[in-house]
A and B are shown apart, each in its own frame.
Chain A
């Protein structure tokens, strides 16, 4: 190899590093300003180092409630989407049935539609039928979106499976349930786990759909949104830092296990 291509390659490498740095910059700022010893309402200027926001993390009860709501909604909607989306994904991958094309089209539309439209249409329905908005409506909306992603990942995994594995189990006398539990389920589990992780992350960070379906119930992104008008307190940075640390650790652990 000549030297010219090598130099050009390292330029691309440097570029990738700079781009990554740009992506990470606001996160570094968020973490840093969680240690900022601010006294007013605005957390914009560095005023010295403190740990007091970590020890006073739960000093704002409504912020704590918002964080708990986000966590429980993400957990429940992920569980529901797993239960409802996994069979849907399996059916689309392995069976021919009436309404298959329609189901595929609906799943595509849910993923392709802007969140704003999903939220606006849900609100339109709730308004039309006079359904009060709150925790249950947020949960229903998040489950709907998560089913779409869950189904897609499970189907992508299930179409790669060799059907002869199940036929072999059948030849060996396995009835449908053991056949599913011992052969099919373990093989599609990576797809289910990937879908569940995606669903959880999308739900806990969702702002737009939640905003349209929340009524007076507050989640963490909604609380942060409301606080931008008066000044976001450092506790938000601390919560963000803790969630960031937990998510990074979890990802590194699962990546290592592979």
Chain B
């Protein structure tokens, strides 16, 4: 092979690769380093390998951590339960209307995520279009709230990330060879048996991708908790944000972010291994 041809891939990779190194690899390393430093905004920070940032952060904000993972888990389960039947119907029964329904599912993403959450606040507010009339007619008690509860946050997370669950399940079901279903029927499998033993197992890669794509952003979200949840339902994202911006407690904030990253990535790998699925990229790429 001529020299120029051996050099070609490196020339292709170098510019983009450098960008990723400078704005992803180095920042993560800096966050790891900062998470072990001590100091304050005025005197600056020094590297002291202060592992207590991790234990302090976790003991002070452990409840927010647990709440985040719990809310993320519940939202993921709700998304899965809500998404599967719809993905199933679109993949197998929608016929020529398939692309219309897919577009309708994606339409929320044409509106800013923050603005959608504000719109939900508007819908669910105490004197708003839903609760206002219900209260005026005495259908719900006047001290009945939806906003500022954990339920509102979980509902908001479910709403926000539902399409992330529908799409990969739809892709997996759509790829399923219909002859397999016919073969199951020919072998006298009923509808339930066909679903349980043919359709469901073959859609599991899609379910896996959907669960990861929903759980990761849902458990680290702080927009829903801030706008819909009020001050008593803060998630770890709210804590990290406040630590960076309001308190300037960079080392503890870095330690918390690093812990969150480690927990989520470890979760993904364990989950992938337990399910025996290949990488997420394989299942999401068309």
Residues on A close to B: CB < 8 A?
5, 9, 12-13, 15-16, 19-20, 22-27, 29-30, 33, 43-46, 83-85, 87-88, 90-91, 95-97, 99, 103, 106-118, 120-125, 127-129, 140-141, 143-144, 147-148, 151-152, 155-156, 201, 205, 207-208, 211-212, 220-221, 224-225, 228, 232, 236-237, 240, 243-244, 247-248, 251-252, 255
Contact = CB atoms under 8 A, between A and B. Distances in A.
B185 to A, nearest CB: 12
A117 B260 contact: yes
Contact of A16 (B8, B23, B90, B261): B90
B64 interface: no
B110 A121 contact: no
Contacts of A30: 111, 115-116, 119
A84 B25 CA distance: 17
B89 A15 contact: yes
Interface string B14-30: 01110111011111101
Given A15-B85, A43-B122, A224-B114, A122 B27 contact: yes
A45 B132 CA distance: 9
A207 B27 CA distance: 19
Contact of B89 (A5, A16, A33, A208): A16
A116 B240 contact: yes
Contacts of A24: 104, 107-108
Given A15-B89, A30-B115, A112-B265, A45 B12 contact: no
Interface string B36-66: 0000000001000000000000000000000
Contacts of A252: 103
B204 interface: no
A87 B12 contact: yes
A205 B109 contact: yes
Contact of A95 (B9, B86, B132, B217): B9
30 contacts: A12-B89, A13-B93, A20-B104, A22-B159, A25-B123, A27-B107, A27-B108, A29-B123, A30-B111, A84-B19, A87-B11, A87-B12, A87-B16, A103-B17, A107-B281, A109-B265, A113-B261, A114-B216, A116-B220, A117-B261, A121-B27, A121-B28, A121-B30, A122-B23, A124-B254, A140-B23, A141-B23, A143-B23, A225-B223, A240-B115
Nearest to B241: A211
Contacts of B216: 112-114
A33 B163 contact: no
Nearest to A5: B191
Contacts of A13: 89, 93
Nearest to A20: B104
Contacts of B11: 87
Interface of B: 8-13, 15-17, 19-21, 23-28, 30-31, 33-34, 45, 82, 85-86, 88-90, 93-94, 99, 101, 103-105, 107-116, 118-123, 125, 127-129, 132, 159, 162-163, 191, 212, 216-217, 219-220, 222-223, 226-227, 237, 240-241, 244, 250, 253-254, 257-258, 260-261, 264-265, 268, 279-281, 285-286
Nearest to B23: A144
Contacts of B85: 12, 15-16
A125 B27 contact: yes
A12 B84 CA distance: 11
A85 B13 CA distance: 9
A95 B250 contact: no
A27 B20 contact: no
B244 A23 contact: no
A247 B219 CA distance: 28
A123 B24 contact: no
Given A30-B115, A90-B12, A127-B250, 12 more contacts: A26-B159, A83-B15, A88-B16, A88-B17, A113-B216, A117-B261, A128-B34, A129-B30, A201-B109, A221-B112, A228-B121, A228-B227
A148 B105 contact: no
B16 A99 contact: no
B212 A112 contact: yes
Contact of B163 (A23, A151, A201, A248): A23
B112 A205 contact: yes
Nearest to B243: A120
Given A91-B9, A128-B30, A248 B110 contact: yes
B86 A19 contact: yes
A151 B16 contact: yes
Among A26, A113, A244, chain B packs the most CB atoms within 10 A around the CB of A26
A227 to B, nearest CB: 8
A224 B115 contact: yes
